[in-house]
Amino acid sequence: MSDSDSGTNPNRRDFIKIAGVASAAAGGAGLGMFGYAAGQDPASYLGWQNQEGASLIFERKHYEVDVPTYEKIGPTSRPDARVENIFDRRGSFMRQLRSGGEFEEPLKSYYEKHPEDLELDRLSAEEIIPKRMADEAEYGDRFFLSQAWSDAMGAVGPDPIDSPPEENDFPRDRRGTPIEPVKLKGPEMTARLIKKLAMQFGSTLVGITELNPDWVYAYPLRRRGFENPDEPLEVPEHWKYAIVVGTPMSWDPMYANPNYGTSNDAYSRSRIIATRLEAFIKALGYPARTHIPGNSYDLMVPPIAIDAGLGQQGRHGVLITPELGSNFRPAVVTTNIPMKTDRPIDIGVEDFCKHCKICAEVCPSGSITMEGKVEVRGYRRYAIDTAKCLNFWMSNLGNMGCRLCVSACPYTRKANWLHKSAVRITAADPTGLSDRALTGLQKSFYPGPDPEDYYIPSLGGDNASYREPPWWLRTEDFIDLG
Amino acid sequence: MRAMQIFNSGFFWFIEGILCVVMILGLRAFMRERGIPMPAWKWVVFGVWVLFAGFTIAFVGTSLGEGEPTAATRGGLLFGLIAVIGGAGAWRALVSGRDPGERAQVTDS
């Protein structure tokens, strides 16, 4: 409509007023579209974009501290992997159960001290696994695609180490002659090079620390090539430094835990990164040894990642990083190549986890404590009932594992403006007020199924997922299930 | 999906900045016409409200984009209510100090 048609001729001020209102409306609509685009932005799927270190979006320098945020309160001891690593213990339990007779050492002494764990280990073998197998026949089809995807992701990856440090770690040429180490131009330059290479190999985060021997197993895991796993593991001198690398699990399936997500995708990539890094360091003439997921370690990884400045330990026992939250599957390379180390950080996780407790509320098996910290081998930490945790894993349809505590952790959010701002606010706020406010909003805005719903039907649940699976894992949309 | 990426670009924020300036000019014209003075504190009140309202809209959009409709609904209701109540309060503050006699003296500039 023209001015002459309408019979009006708005003056300049009226025009500006109308333009102002129109701009407000357009600006508001634009912000809505910005938000929608940010919520779907492929760049927010951190860790899957490039090899240039673009995932290091958090400025750690402001949050560096002199000592790690875990608390040492007494004489420390190293963990016995044969009984304290739940996978190794459960493996021994199943083998010895099948062979009949009495349990052998060290299992026998462990069960005498921890009869509740014997009960839980028995429960798994005698009740949970048979029920899972029965339910699998009835309900398992739904997870066919996610299992196929998980198998495919796990199909690629180097074999775990199967020889002891003195054989595996030292570089040799094809004739078996030891390789002389190259002369390096200083620890700072070497650390820079190693970090760049780790990123180049696909690592999302990388940190370097001197290895604290407390984190090395007192007795090794059986599959690590030690001739006699019942002999104590002496920490080799050349395990001076630990380089921590790793990647997140694919974000959308991870939110659809416990049954659609998988650890295999991140495990596979972390294994490849660590193995390439080991090869690179050996090519420089220095010894190196990988400690990689699923369960091929001579040490515990989360505290090493804390020492290396990648994050802090949460109530659920998992490392929480500012970039990826709990969605980080690390691997470690031990070496003696001289490097400048990183400093630990304090981004406020200790205080946040004290109030939050969402992981403990979500956990179907009740493995995560609602109480305060306890002493474990001379350090204060939240207690995790690993036997209960593994029993839920074993009961679960779809992909092996659970990972619900990872999905529900408020830090585990994609890298968009909203969630990254929240992390920065909690990290910078010394009062704790923002922790409480954000926890309240998290519980109100992001509810999930009731914990018992995650169980299989024969254990009283309905195979619930924390979030709906992504379209490409919905078996019923692609395969005729008959 | 690709077309949506324009909203994550620098160009989008350039346009958003222009719209913001026009909005400020419109408010200034409106206030002048009614003879309402606009000291600095009123612009701060206006700015805070615009930021909060913008946050609310962006929060709803982001939550929908992430596939979190519950967060979008509950956040929209909570923050939207605060924005409406805050907006009413902010408006009363903005139009305070009105001098009816001043209207005739104000000219376009």
Share of chain A above pLDDT 70, in %: 96
Q: Nearest C-alpha of chain B: how many angstroms from A13?
A: 6
Q: Given a cut of 90, is residue A312 above it in pLDDT?
A: yes
Q: How far apart are CA A475 and CA A141, in angstroms?
A: 8
Mutation target vs B (from A260, A413, A418; most B CBs, 10 A cutoff): A418
Residue that has been written with the tokens 């909003």 in this structure:
A441
Q: Looking at residue A165, what is its pLDDT?
A: 95
Question: Residue B29: its chain A contacts at CB < 8 A?
Answer: 13, 16-17, 20
Category of A168 on φ-ψ map: left (φ > 0), alpha (ψ -120 to 50) or beta? alpha
Task: Report the C-alpha gap between B3 and A12 in whole angstroms.
Answer: 35
Q: What is the pLDDT of residue A7?
A: 44
Residues A378 and A74 sit within 8 Å (Cβ to Cβ): yes
Q: What is the rounded distance in angstroms from the CA atom of residue A361 to the CA atom of residue A198?
A: 36
* Strand locations in A238-316 (E): 241-247, 288-291, 312-313
Helices vs. strands in chain A: H and E counts, helices first = 20, 9
ipTM over 0.90 threshold? no
What is the C-alpha to C-alpha distance for residues A310 and A324, in angstroms, rounded to an integer?
10
The answer to whether the CB of A28 falls within 8 A of the CB of B57 is yes
pLDDT band with cut points at 50, 70 and 90 for residue A143: very high
Q: Is residue A19 part of a domain?
A: no
DSSP states of A242-255: EEEEEEPPPHHHHH
Cβ distance A298 to A281 under 8 Å? no
Residues 6 or more apart whose CB falls under 8 angstroms from that of A433 comprise none
How confident is the prediction for chain A on average, in pLDDT?
93
Looking at A332-378, list the stretches that DSSP marks H as alpha helix, in order from N- to C-terminal side: 349-356, 358-362
Number of structural domains, chain A? 1
**For residue B106, what pLDDT is reported?**
47
Q: Bigger pLDDT: A320 or A9?
A: A320
Distance in angstroms (rounded) separating the CA atoms of residues A232 and A381: 25
Q: What share of residues in chain B are helix, strand, coil (percent, to 5)? A: 80, 0, 20
- Asked if residue A248 lies in contact with residue A204, where contact means CB atoms within 8 angstroms, the answer is yes
Give one DSSP letter per residue of A416-474, joined into a string. Answer: SHHHHHHHHHHHH-SSSHHHHHHHHHHHHHS----GGGGS-GGGT-----SSPPPGGG-
For residue A406, is it within any domain?
A: yes
Chain A: give the shortest CA distance to residue B64, in Å: 6
Q: What are the domain boundaries of chain B?
A: 3-105
List, in sequence order, every residue forming a beta bridge with A208; answer none if it has no partner: A243
Q: Which pLDDT score is estimated for B99?
A: 62
Would A41 be classed as within a structural domain?
no
Which candidate from A27, A441, A467 shows the least CB-CB separation from B23?
A: A27
- Residue A54: its pLDDT value, please? 67
**Interior/surface letters B6-23, b for 16+ CB within 10 angstroms, e for the rest:** ebbeeebeeebeebbebb
- Rounded to 5 degrees, φ, ψ at A289 are -150, 135
Instruction: Walk along chain B (109 residues) and give the pLDDT tens digit of each residue.
Output: 667 888 988 999 999 999 999 999 999 999 999 999 999 999 999 999 999 999 999 999 999 999 999 999 999 999 999 999 999 999 999 998 866 555 544 444 4
Interface of A with B (CB under 8 A): 11-13, 16-24, 26-28, 30-41, 43, 414, 416-418, 441, 444-447, 467-468
Q: Are strands A329-335 and A241-247 parallel, antiparallel or unpaired?
A: antiparallel
Q: At A113, list the tokens.
A: 């001290």
> How far does the CA of residue A8 sit from the closest CA of chain B (Å)?
19
Q: A310 and A244 in contact (C-beta within 8 Å)?
A: yes
Task: Give the residue from B38, B66, B73, B81 with the most A CB atoms within 10 Å of its CB, the best one to mutate.
Answer: B66
Bond from prior residue into A294 cis (ω within 30 degrees of 0): yes
Contacts of B20 in chain A (CB under 8 A): 23, 27
User: Of A303, A321, A310, A77, which is closest to residue A211 (Cα–Cα)?
Assistant: A303
Mean pLDDT on A264-283:
96
Q: What digits encode the pLDDT tens for the residues A48-88?
A: 766 666 677 788 999 999 999 999 999 999 999 999 999 99
For B48, how many CA atoms within 13 A lie in the half-sphere containing its CB?
13
Residue A210's SS3 state is strand
Interface test with A, best of B1, B13, B23 (most A CBs within 10 A): B23
Q: What's the token pair of residue A222?
A: 């059986």
State residue A8's pLDDT score: 47
Give the distance, in angstroms, between the CA of residue B47 and the centroid of all CA atoms in the same chain.
7
The string of pLDDT tens digits covering residues A216-263 is 999 998 888 898 888 999 999 999 999 999 999 999 999 999 999 999
Quote the tokens at residue A324: 């990826």
Residue A249 falls inside a structural domain: yes
The minimal CB distance from A38 to the residues B8, B18, B26 is found for B8
The pLDDT, as a whole number, for residue A229 is 83
CB contact under 8 A, B20 and A445: no
**Is residue A12 in some structural domain?**
no
Q: What is the pLDDT of residue A157?
A: 85
The lowest-confidence range among A284-298, A379-393, B92-106 is B92-106
**How many other CB atoms are there within 10 angstroms of residue B103's CB atom?**
13
Side-by-side strand order, sheet with A205-210: A205-210, A241-247, A329-335, A288-291
Task: Quick: pLDDT tens for A313-322.
Answer: 999 999 999 9
Give the sign of the dihedral formed by CA A218, CA A219, CA A224, CA A226: positive
Among A347, A284, A269, A356, smallest CA distance to A316 is for: A356
Q: Is residue A5 part of a domain?
A: no
Does the pLDDT at position A446 exceed 70? yes
* Helix axes of A433-445 and B69-94: crossing angle, nearest 10 degrees: 120
CA–CA distance, A255 with A404 (Å, rounded to integer): 8
pLDDT tens, residue by residue, A213-226? 999 999 998 888 89
Cβ-proximal residues to A203 (8 Å cutoff; 6+ apart), any chain: A245, A246, A247, A270, A273
Of A12, A39, A468, the CB nearest to B62: A39
Mean pLDDT of A413-435: 94
Q: Is residue A133 assigned to a domain?
A: yes
CB A177 within 8 Å of CB A188: no
- The torsion angles phi and psi of A339, rounded to 5 degrees, stand at -140, 150
pLDDT number for residue A4: 43
pLDDT at A243: 98
Domain coverage including residue A375:
53-478
Q: Is the dihedral of CA A55, A59, A65, A70 positive or negative?
A: negative
- Within a domain: A15: no
